[in-house]
Amino acid sequence: MAKGYMLAAHRREADADKRTAYLKLAGPALEAAGGTYLARAGRVEARENGVAERTILIEFEIYEAAVAAYESVAYQQALQALDGGADRDIRLFEGVD
């Protein structure tokens, strides 16, 4: 089975206080759902229509696990803590089998 992924590409810098509140909940929620961080805020070089801001890539055993992690109560609580404090493009996608 193909792995599942969550990609978060920020469009601009997040609100610092809301980001801190979000991170306290989001990391543990996604890891508890089986997520493994593959990339987290390293160097970013934007090409084409991209924006050189924070980019995060999380791997899950299967696509459905990525979707379930995003929809989980624990991660939804993290999103409530973020409370619109970030402009991000979130994508859940299936890897190559």
Q: Position of tokens 């601009």?
A: 12
Rounded to 5 degrees, φ, ψ at 78 are: -65, -40
pLDDT of residue 41: 79
- Tell me how crowded residue 4 is: count the other CB atoms within 10 A of its CB: 23
pLDDT of residue 97: 86
Structural domain boundaries in the chain? 4-94
Q: For residues 94 and 19, what is the distance between their CA atoms, to the nearest angstrom?
A: 27
pLDDT of residue 32: 98
Stretch 6-24: mean pLDDT: 96
**Sign of the torsion formed by the C-alpha atoms of 47, 62, 56 and 69:** positive
Q: Which amino acid is at 71?
A: E
Domain covering 4-94 in this structure, CATH number = 3.30.70.100
Computed over every residue of the chain, the mean pLDDT equals: 96
Please write the tens of the pLDDT for every residue from 32-78.
999 999 999 789 999 999 999 999 999 999 999 999 999 999 999 99
Share of the chain above pLDDT 70, in %: 100
Instruction: Give the chain's largest Cα–Cα span.
Output: 39
